[in-house]
Amino acid sequence: MYYALSILVAIIAAFESVRLLFILILLVLFLIYKRLHFAHIIGVFITCFVFYYYVSDEVRKLEMPLPLPENLTWTHEYKFSGNKLRGFMEDSQGRKIYVVYTFTSENEIEQYKHISLAGEQFIVSGELVEPNRQAHQYAFNMKKYLKSKGAIGTLEISKWSYVGTKKSIAQKINQQRFKLKMHIEQAFPESLIGEAQALLIGLQEQVDDEMTRAYQKLGITHLFAISGLHVAIVTLIFFQGLIRLRIRREFATLILLVILPIYGILAGGAPSVWRAVTVVELLLISRLKWRLSVDDALSITFILFVFIEPWSIFQIGFQLSYLATASLIYSGKILQRFSSWLVQSFFITFVCQLLVYPLLLFHFYEISISSFFVNILFVPLFSFVILPINILLLVASFAPRLLSNLLFTLYEPIRELLTNIINFLQSLPYQMWNPGKPTVVLMIVAYLSIFIIFYMLENESKLIKTILLLCIPLVILHFSGKLFSDLKITFINVGQGDCILVELPRRKAVYMIDTGGLLRFDQDAWKVNNRPYEVGRQVVVPYLKGKGITKIDKLIITHADADHVEGAEEVLEEIRIGEIHISPNSYHKDVMKDLLAEAKNQKVPVKEQMASNSWKIDEISFSYLWPVETNYEGNNDSLVLLITSGAFRGLFTGDLEKEGEEVMLRLYPYLKDIQLLKAGHHGSKTSSSEEFVSNLKPNLTIFSAGENNRYGHPHNEVVERFQKLNLNILTTGEVGTIEVSVKDNQMDISYPK
């Protein structure tokens, strides 16, 4: 284990900074304290530096340029997204490249969908491009994803030509995996395809998004990822089958040693799969020759894994898999105290969740509370009932149709009942604890408390002390993101659209102005992605959860345009909303239908607002200045909100255009010297008129516009108006998400670039 830890330090230092090698000193001091043999201490020290130089060399290889055109080979990691093919290819040196290819016709895409691409070689031309800017610090980070895969970059393919197939054992197994995938899609009922592919071959493409979210809320997503328990059950089934065929145990063990790696490739080769396969392999070998402890087997698999793919330590699945397994191994003494299987099942879940909860919060910003109890039922149900049934159904699907149809007819209603139960359980409120993303310091505090808790449990300390020690970091984590005394206004980078988050001091209230969205254009069915990009779910919700925001008191939809409202339904599905404000009569527009239907379903009040409506919390006032009539016609009927706090005044104008601005100036002659302005209509030349800008003279103006957007927002004429008056401007598409903190009448502005 200590060698594995020293190698972990070496890899992190090689990727991040050589200064992190100083962590090795702490490890060596701990080994001296543990009175480890001097030879082992020297061995740990040498191993760390050998691995550091080895991994540093691997990192340098990734930084070498890719000559184009180049002969690239497909891996098994790829997927079809509408008219695009995305995935990983390898060059002649074995380096991975993330590639994107756009199909030119429906016939071409159908041709590639019906073959296994793993091992297929192409001469490829194209351009290496920079990954898209991260929308905010809590959004998906393409650069980090490529780093975790050991990929040298992103290649947009302009032209390719097939040159042949790179034959290998892995390629042949992946070909069989593809055939199994196609067989399941053809032989299984549609409702069972996603489950069968996930449990049997590790493919989750067909698992419904709504069901995936249901599993996340219940904390049982791991049951649909092939893991150690799955591998153990498959091993048991094969081993007992061989014994029943009167094969000697030694020979059965040798057969398993061959079968398990094949199964690892068939199952998709995820870190959790290879970790489980290699641990079982080592334990089987040790039975034949010498005895090996489980923790040593786990450490050896770690060393082997990172020797082959050192960047895998940055993969979330890798981190969770090894931490969860380690928690079970090193809590054996604690678990053995309980004779009741029910209590033992609870503590198995408890120790796993205890060790991984800071990591889960760091990556996903929330954890499922119900998982502590739900897993007691669902782990044995999926492992010993659902998985064996799917194996049986797969075998039966190769038999005459009469038998397989009978089994499908019996199983499908049972599985539908289970789905209904899962949907009911996930619909229960307050299942997720969402304190937000913890800082590195809070992560250290959390893990220190966890190690002390394990020590106390092992030494049978008083339960009340253990619970108290557990609660202290939980309370700190929960409230740490709310202890601020300034007014925070954040312009979330949602691309070509508006989304503004307003947080009052100590988060007494949270408001959101618009939710972003996409303007979707009609296109051929074969070009449409079956899992379309959703701004609300993939950009706005992660930002809210990353900050630990679980409720929005007022959701303000300035007007009924897709780039302001389309993401609202997705936000409403994930975040509690107190009430929704809309412009008068805008609810008639088609784009509002989904939001209003979801609001009705959740019994969230929807209120039409107009000029003169206002409210106040402490010293902060909120007033609607526009519209002044109830006839909704479009942009010029946007809700315009003025926020006042002391000498600070912020004006948020939606998509208000020149005509509306002129009337507002006549109605509100005092509207001058604004500190913060959200420019109308993303900086279109039909907004931000010269008279309006020169009257307001905002200290800072924000344009919410997408990077390189097709409309050319903000328009050059508009930008020049502000520049002539020496007024500061920022655009979300250029600098990313912008946070403005207001305290003592001063603005503090921060953004990534």
Reduced 3-state DSSP string for 13-56: HHHCCHHHHHHHHHHHHHHHHCCCCHHHHHHHHHHHHHHHHHHH
- Helix (H, G, I), strand (E, B), or coil: what is residue 131? coil
Residue 231 and residue 129 share a domain: no
Within-domain flag for 330: no
Residue 42 and residue 82 share a domain: no
How long, in residues, is the chain?
753
List CB contacts of 206: < 8 A, sequence separation 6 or more: 185, 193, 194, 197, 198
Within-domain flag for 365: no
Least Cα distance to 619 among 642, 641, 646, 643 occurs for 646
Q: pLDDT per residue over 399-408, tens digit each?
A: 888 888 999 9
Q: pLDDT per residue over 141-162, tens digit each?
A: 999 999 999 999 999 999 999 9
Residue 134 and residue 201 share a domain: no
Structural domains counted in the chain: 5
Phi first, then psi, for residue 523 (nearest 5°) are -150, 170
Whole-angstrom Cα distance, residue 545 to residue 367?
11
Final residue of a domain: which of 433, 450, 466? 433
- In this structure, are residues 209 and 221 in contact, taking their beta carbons and an 8 Å threshold? no
Within-domain flag for 329: no
Instruction: State both tokens at 494.
Output: 């949602």
Q: pLDDT per residue over 210-227, tens digit each?
A: 888 888 898 888 877 776
Residue 464 and residue 585 share a domain: no
Residue 610 and residue 512 share a domain: yes
Within-domain flag for 332: no
Q: Of the ranges 262-276, 387-401, 473-487, which one carries the lowest mean pLDDT score?
A: 262-276
Average pLDDT over every residue of 413-420: 93
Handedness of CA 531, 534, 538, 542 (dihedral sign): negative
- Sheet of 614-617, strands arranged across: 614-617, 620-626, 640-645, 648-652, 676-678, 700-703, 728-731
pLDDT band at 293 (very low <50, low <70, confident <90, very high): confident
Whole-angstrom Cα distance, residue 173 to residue 179?
10
Within-domain flag for 342: no
Instruction: State both tokens at 202.
Output: 């590790």
Q: Is the pLDDT of residue 301 over 70?
A: yes
Average pLDDT over every residue of 78-101: 93
Final residue of a domain: which of 142, 167, 192? 167
List CB contacts of 557: < 8 A, sequence separation 6 or more: 514, 515, 564, 565, 568, 580, 581, 582, 583, 586, 592, 595, 639
Instruction: State both tokens at 1.
Output: 């284990």
Within-domain flag for 596: yes
Q: pLDDT per residue over 574-600, tens digit each?
A: 999 999 999 999 999 999 999 999 999
- In this structure, are residues 383 and 237 in contact, taking their beta carbons and an 8 Å threshold? no
Q: What is the DSSP string of 293-362?
A: -HHHHHHHHHHHHHHH-GGGGG-HHHHHHHHHHHHHHHTHHHHHT---HHHHHHHHHHHHHHHHHHHHHH
Q: Is the pLDDT of residue 228 over 70?
A: no
Residue 450 and residue 306 share a domain: no
Per-residue pLDDT at 591: 93
Residue 498 and residue 414 share a domain: no
Residue 728 and residue 623 share a domain: yes
Residue 263 to residues 167, 239, 273, Cα–Cα distance (Å): 19, 14, 9
Q: Is the pLDDT of residue 620 over 90?
A: yes
Per-residue pLDDT at 229: 67
Average pLDDT over every residue of 20-49: 87
Whole-angstrom Cα distance, residue 40 to residue 4?
12
More confident residue, 349 or 118: 118
SS (H, E, C) 480-542: HCCCCCCEEEEECCCCCCCCEEEECHHHCCEEEECCCCCCCCCCCHHHCCCCCCCHHHHHHHH
Average pLDDT over every residue of 279-306: 80
Q: pLDDT per residue over 318-350, tens digit each?
A: 888 888 888 878 777 777 777 777 777 777 788
Domain, as residue range, for 248: 176-314+372-433
Residue 460 and residue 517 share a domain: no
Least Cα distance to 224 among 195, 251, 186, 259 occurs for 195
Instruction: State the CATH number of the domain containing residue 495.
Output: 3.60.15.10
Surface-to-core class of residue 721, CB atoms within 10 Å of its CB (0-12 exposed, 13-18 middle, 19+ buried):
buried
More confident residue, 524 or 606: 606
Average pLDDT over every residue of 672-700: 93
List CB contacts of 521: < 8 A, sequence separation 6 or more: none
Within-domain flag for 452: yes
Residue 43 and residue 92 share a domain: no
Within-domain flag for 672: yes
Residue 243 and residue 211 share a domain: yes
Q: Is the pLDDT of residue 291 over 80?
A: no
Residue 384 and residue 531 share a domain: no
Final residue of a domain: which of 433, 453, 471? 433
